[in-house]
Structure 1
Amino acid sequence: MKKIIILALFTCIFGYSQEFYVKPYLQDATPNSIKIMWETNFGEESFVEWGVTKKLGKKVSGKAFDINFTEARVHEVLIEGLQKFTTYYYRVKTGTLVSDIYTFKTPPFASDDKAFNIVAMSDMQIDRRNPNKFTEIIQDGVLSYLSDEFEGGVPDNLALVMIPGDLVSSGSEYDQWQHDFFRPIQPLGSQVPVYPVLGNHERNSVFYFKYFSLPENGTPAFAEHWYYKDYGNTRIIGLNSNEGYRIKDQLRWLDSLLVRTAENDDIDFVFAQLHHPHKSELWLRGEEDYTGEVVKRLENFTNKTGKPSIHFFGHTHGYSRGQSQNHKHLWINVATAGGRIDEWGAYAQKNYDEFTVTQAKYGFVMVAVDPNDGNPKFTVKRVSRGNELNPENNVITDSITIYKNAINPEKPMAVSPKGKVDTLKPLLTASVFKSDNDQAFHAASQWQVSESDDFEKTIFNSWKQFEDWYYDQNLQKGDDLKDEIALNLKPGKTYYWRVRYRDQFLQWSEWSEVIKISTEK
C-alpha cells in the first residue's frame, strides 16, 4: 500500500503517468482457458475484463512481476471457464491505464473437426537497412492477406502464430523486445496466441522467459525450452536447437512424446519447430547435425503411424521447401520476416535433393489444416513479399497439400533397356505416370541400379522432383521424369535396375519390376 501511495504522489508531482511498454498479447490458449500478458512502466494491478460481447461483464486478476530491475512490470492473467471455439472480448487494466477492447477465439477440441489456419514466420530480427520490414510483414503481409482472403476478423481466420526463433537481434537488449518485436506484432498478437522457440539471437535471455508463458510440459529442468501445444487435430512441438541444448535429454523427451502422440487417435499431424536447419541451400554454415536427429525421429514417427509431419525452421534468411525421400515429412524454412536476406552467391551454397524450392525473399507461410473426417489434410503456402530488387505483394510462390490418407500412384513399367547394353551410360526409360486420383500428377521419380536384385547396395540412385528452383532457375525444366541416364556402370558386369513414381501429395508407387541388364566387355 505504501508503494502505491508513493507512486501516486510521484505521479501528481512530476507528471509520471502510466503507460504500456507492451500492449496486451495472448499466450497458451486451450479450448477452456487463455493467458493474457502486457507490460507497464509501473503498477502491480493486473486485471482483465472479458465477456462474449463488448459489454464484457466479467473480471479476473492475475500477477505482476519484475522484468529488468526497474518499476516496469509484466502482467499475466489466466482466464478460465471459457467455452470451446468461442469468440470473446477483453481489455486489460493496471491502475488508471486501460487498454482498447480486443477479441480472441478459443481453440476447438479435435473431435469438433474444425478447420483452421496457422502462420509460421521467423528471423524478424531488425535489419538496419530495412528497419520497418517486420512491421510491413505484419501489416501489409499477414493482416492484409487475411483481409483479402477471408471474411470476418483475424481470430475467425487465424488460430495461432509459430515463430522458430530470432525474434530480436539481441535477446539480452531489453528495449529491443518492446520496439523491435512486440510493437510490430501487436495487431496480430493481441488477437491470436504466439508460440515461439529460441533462436541463437535470443541468447537464452531471461527476457524471453519472462515475456512468454509457454506450456510447461517439457522436461521439468528445461521448462519452456521445449514443449508441445495441441490445436484441434494437430500437435505443435517446440524445440531448442541452440548450443548448450543439443542434448540427449531433449531427444529422450521427444522420443517419449512421439510415442504418446502415436497412440493418440485425436492427433492427425505433427508440426515441429526449431531454429537451425539440418540442411540449408542458401547458407551451408548454418546447418546443424542435431536437427538431423530430430528429422530422423519425425520421419520414423510418420513412417510408423501414417501421420504426416513437418519441421519448420529458420536461421537461413530465405524460404525453402523440401521433403523426405521415403516419408510424408516436409522441411520448411519460414524465414525471413525482417532479417537481412541471405542472397544467392553470398555464401557457400548447395543444391540438395530434398529441396524443391528455395527463394531469397521476405515472406511468411500459411498452413491451412482441414480435419475432414474422411481424409484430413493440410496445405502449406508461401506468401512472398519479394526482395529489395523485386518486391512482391503477397504472391503465392509455392504450395503443397498433404493428405493423411492418399491414393498411391500405379506401379510404373520399366521399359528399357533390357538384356545387353552397348554403353556404360544407358538411358533408363519407364511408362507414363498413372493414378486413380484424378488430381495427382507426376511429381518425382527415383531410379536405382544395383549389382544384386535385392538392391541392398546401389551403385546408382537418382531422386528428382518435377521442379527444382535453385539460384532463381528451375533446374528441372523440361524433365518429364520418365527417363534417366544411369552412371557408374563398368564393362562386363551384370546389373539390375528399377524405378518408382511419386505424386505431388508425397505418395510413392510400388517399385517397378526389376530389369536385368549386362554391359559389354
Structure 2
Amino acid sequence: MRKNKILFLSLLFFSLWGIQNACFTQVITKGPYIAEPGRNSVTIRWESDINSPALVLFDKTSVLRKKSPAKIIGRQNKFYLYEAKLTGLYQDTKYFYTVKCGKTKSAVTYFKTMPSVTTPFSFIAMGDSRSNRDVFEKIIAQSIKLNPDLVISMGDLVAQGGSFDQWNSHFFKVAQKLINHVLFISTLGDHEGDGDNGNLFRYYFLPRMNTDSLWFSFDFGNAHFVSLDYRHPYEKKMIEWFKKDMEQTDAKWKFVFMHRPCYNLGGHRSTWGRDVWPALFTKYKIDIVFAGHSHQYERFFPVKPDNQPDSWPVTYITTGGAGAGLYEADTSDFLAKVESVHHLININISGDTLSLKTISESGFLIDKLSIIKKNGRYNDEYYSAVRSQEKLNVYTMFLKAISFSIDKIPLEEIPATSKIILKSDKFPDDIKFKIFLWHQSEINYIMEPVEGIIHKNEKLEISVNIFSKGKMTISNWGSIKPDLRLGAVFEISGIKYEITGGRIEYWPEESY
C-alpha cells in the first residue's frame, strides 16, 4: 500500500513538473519576418507568447557566430512583438539567421541585404490577398519560385484589420515561408484602415509611425518607392511631403504604390485623388503607379496630357488579384492588358532596362512589358503606345458616373431616383453624350434616356428615374437581381465611345 502511494505521488510530481514546463515553453506565434530596408542593416521582427530575453544569431555561413539582442516593441492580446536590428552588414550579401527566445529557436533561414545602385534586382507587386487562403498560398509559392529581392503589397492583407486572429490566419501563417527571408512592405488597405483605423497594420509593419498618417518612402537598389495613404487623397500634409520627397531623390526608377487606383475601369472603378495626383506623378516622372482595391489585373497604356507634349508618360497598373474574390474586367482602348485573374507581377530592374511579367496563381504568363530608359528618355516603342490623359479622364468620368448605388428600391410605380454628376475635366472640346439603360436591363427595368452636351469647364447634374417591371431580389451585400446597369455613349474629338457601367447596388441611407 505504501509503495503504491509513493508511486502515485511520484507520478503526480512528474506530471505537474511536465505541465509547468509546457506552460513556460516559449512559442513564436508570428514570424520571424524581414521588416525594414537598410543598405547595411536589416530589421527582423517576430511575435511570442512570453516576455523573456531574446536575440538573433546570424552570419554569412550557417555557422552563426554573431548575435544581435532583441527588444520588445509592443504587446497585443497578451502576445509580445520583438524586434532586432542587425547592423554593420555588407551590402548585397546573403546572411543566415535564427531567432532565439529563451530556449526556443526558429528554424535557420536567410536574408539578403539591399542591392547597390549598380546591382540588378527584382521585386514582386501584389495586392488584396485577404480572405482566400488557398489562392494566397499559391501566390506565395509562385513568389518563392521567382526568388525576388523585395515584395510590395497594395494592402488588404486581412478582411478585418482589427481582428488579431486574422492577422495570423489570413497573412502571417500563409506568407511565412516568403517573409522570413524576403523584405515584404505593404501599403495600408481599406480593410486594414476600416477595421481599427490601421492600428494593427501599423503595429506589425510601421510601429514608429502615426496611425493617422501612414505614408512613407524608401530606396532599394537604383529605385525609389513611395507608398501613399489611401485615406487622404487631398490631404495637404501628404501632398507637400510627396513633393519634398521626390525633389530629394535622384533614383533612376521611381514607383508609387497605394491601395486605391487613380485609374480603374473594372471592379470599383476607382478615381482616387484624380484632381491632384496624376499631375504630380507626371511632374515628378513616376515610371509606374501600382494600386489594388479592384480584384483584377489592368495595365493601362502609358498616358500623358495632350496639352503638355513634352511631359512624362506614366503607366498605371491595377493589381488586386492575390487572393480575394475576383471582379469583372472591362476592356478598353486605354488598356494594354486586362484580365480577371489571380496573379502577381514580377519586375526585374537591370540598369536602363525594366522587364515586367505578370504571372497567374498557376504560373502561366498573363502579360509582359519591357521599358528602356536612357538619359531620362524612354525607348521609342514605349512612347508610341502613349494615350491621351485628357481622354482617359473623360472616359473614366463617365464610367464612374453611371456606376453607382441607390438608396431606394425601384418599384413599378415609384422610381429609384439618382443624381449623376458629369464634369468636362478641363477637356477643351464639347462632349456629346447619351445615358440609357443597358440593353439587358431593359427587360426588367424602365428609364428614360438622358442626352446632352458638356461644355469646357462645365459641370452638369442630371437626375435619372428607374422603375422596375417586376420582382427583384436584394442580397445582404446590396446586390440587385436581375442586374441593373446603365450604359453611355459619348463623343470625344470625333471619336465615339460606348461603355457599360458597373452593376448598380442598393445601399439604404442607414447603411452608410
Same fold by TM-score greater than 0.5: yes
Are 1:48 and 2:56 counterparts? yes
- State the Cα distance separating 1:487 from its structure 2 match: 3.0
CA distance in 2 between counterparts of 1:98 and 1:65 reads 20
Q: 1:8-51: per-residue Cα shift (whole Å, max 9, x none)? A: 98962664532121121101121210100111122332210011
Of 370, 390, 393, which aligns to 2:350?
370
- State the Cα distance separating 1:443 from its structure 2 match: 4.3
Residues 459 and 78 from structure 1, CA distance in 2 versus in 1: closer, same or farther, beyond 3 angstroms? same
> Is this contact kept in 1: 2:303–2:386, CA < 8 A?
no
Greater Cα shift, 227-236 or 399-408: 399-408
Residues 286 and 187 from structure 1, CA distance in 2 versus in 1: closer, same or farther, beyond 3 angstroms? same
- State the Cα distance separating 1:170 from its structure 2 match: 0.6
- The aligned counterpart of 1:191 is 181
> Is this contact kept in 1: 2:122–2:348, CA < 8 A?
yes
Q: 1:66-97: per-residue Cα shift (whole Å, max 9, x none)? A: 43241x11111001010111111110011111
- State the Cα distance separating 1:199 from its structure 2 match: 0.5
Equivalent runs, 1:280-299 vs 2, <5 Å: 280-283=264-267, 285-290=268-273, 293-299=276-282
- State the Cα distance separating 1:404 from its structure 2 match: 1.8
Greater Cα shift, 318-327 or 51-60: 318-327
Are 1:398 and 2:367 counterparts? yes
CA distance in 1 between counterparts of 2:88 and 2:38 reads 10
- The aligned counterpart of 1:134 is 136
Number of residues paired by the alignment? 376
- State the Cα distance separating 1:221 from its structure 2 match: 5.4
Equivalent runs, 1:50-199 vs 2, <5 Å: 50-70=58-78, 72-110=79-117, 113-127=118-132, 131-139=133-141, 141-144=142-145, 146=146, 154=147, 158-199=148-189
Q: 1:212-233: per-residue Cα shift (whole Å, max 9, x none)? A: 147x6xxx75687011110111
Q: Which runs of 5+ in 2 are unaligned?
A: 1-15, 305-311, 391-426, 432-491, 497-512
Letter in 2 for 1:309: D
Of 39, 42, 47, which aligns to 1:39?
47
Letter in 2 for 1:225: L
> Is this contact kept in 2: 1:115–1:370, CA < 8 A?
yes
- The aligned counterpart of 1:340 is 325
Residues 95 and 246 from structure 1, CA distance in 2 versus in 1: closer, same or farther, beyond 3 angstroms? farther
- State the Cα distance separating 1:109 from its structure 2 match: 2.8
- State the Cα distance separating 1:488 from its structure 2 match: 7.8
> Is this contact kept in 1: 2:355–2:371, CA < 8 A?
yes
Residues 179 and 367 from structure 1, CA distance in 2 versus in 1: closer, same or farther, beyond 3 angstroms? same
Residues 255 and 93 from structure 1, CA distance in 2 versus in 1: closer, same or farther, beyond 3 angstroms? same
Q: 1:337-375: per-residue Cα shift (whole Å, max 9, x none)? A: 11000135xxxxx6555322111000100111112xxxx
CA distance in 1 between counterparts of 2:82 and 2:67 reads 15
Q: 1:258-290: per-residue Cα shift (whole Å, max 9, x none)? A: 1222xx2xx10111110001121112x451331
Instruction: Tell me the SS of whatever aligns to 1:289.
Output: coil
Q: Which runs of 5+ in 1 are unaligned?
A: 1-7, 147-153, 303-307, 345-349, 386-392, 410-434, 449-455, 461-484, 490-521
CA distance in 1 between counterparts of 2:56 and 2:206 reads 16
Of 279, 287, 297, which aligns to 1:319?
297
Residues 352 and 289 from structure 1, CA distance in 2 versus in 1: closer, same or farther, beyond 3 angstroms? farther
CA distance in 2 between counterparts of 1:92 and 1:210 reads 20
Greater Cα shift, 334-343 or 59-68: 59-68
Are 1:381 and 2:363 counterparts? no
Instruction: Tell me the SS of whatever aligns to 1:250.
Output: helix
TM-score, normalised on structure 2?
A: 0.67
- State the Cα distance separating 1:441 from its structure 2 match: 10
CA distance in 2 between counterparts of 1:270 and 1:245 reads 20
Letter in 2 for 1:134: F
- The aligned counterpart of 2:503 is none
- The aligned counterpart of 1:231 is 220
- The aligned counterpart of 2:205 is 212
> Is this contact kept in 2: 1:35–1:77, CA < 8 A?
yes
> Is this contact kept in 2: 1:321–1:330, CA < 8 A?
yes
CA distance in 1 between counterparts of 2:163 and 2:377 reads 52
Instruction: Tell me the SS of whatever aligns to 1:82.
Output: coil
- The aligned counterpart of 2:316 is 331
> Is this contact kept in 1: 2:130–2:324, CA < 8 A?
yes
TM-score, normalised on structure 1?
A: 0.66
- State the Cα distance separating 1:321 from its structure 2 match: 0.4
CA distance in 2 between counterparts of 1:122 and 1:259 reads 28
Letter in 2 for 1:299: T
Across the aligned residues of Structure 1 and Structure 2, the Cα RMSD in angstroms comes to 3.2
CA distance in 1 between counterparts of 2:17 and 2:256 reads 51
- The aligned counterpart of 1:240 is 229
Letter in 2 for 1:278: C
> Is this contact kept in 1: 2:347–2:357, CA < 8 A?
yes
- The aligned counterpart of 1:250 is 238
> Is this contact kept in 2: 1:11–1:17, CA < 8 A?
no
Greater Cα shift, 166-175 or 395-404: 395-404
> Is this contact kept in 1: 2:301–2:387, CA < 8 A?
no
> Is this contact kept in 2: 1:10–1:16, CA < 8 A?
no
- The percentage of counterpart residues that share the same residue type is 24
CA distance in 1 between counterparts of 2:376 and 2:31 reads 48
Of 238, 256, 263, which aligns to 1:272?
256
- State the Cα distance separating 1:336 from its structure 2 match: 0.9
> Is this contact kept in 2: 1:282–1:343, CA < 8 A?
yes
Instruction: Tell me the SS of whatever aligns to 1:321.
Output: strand
Letter in 1 for 2:91: K
Letter in 1 for 2:168: Q
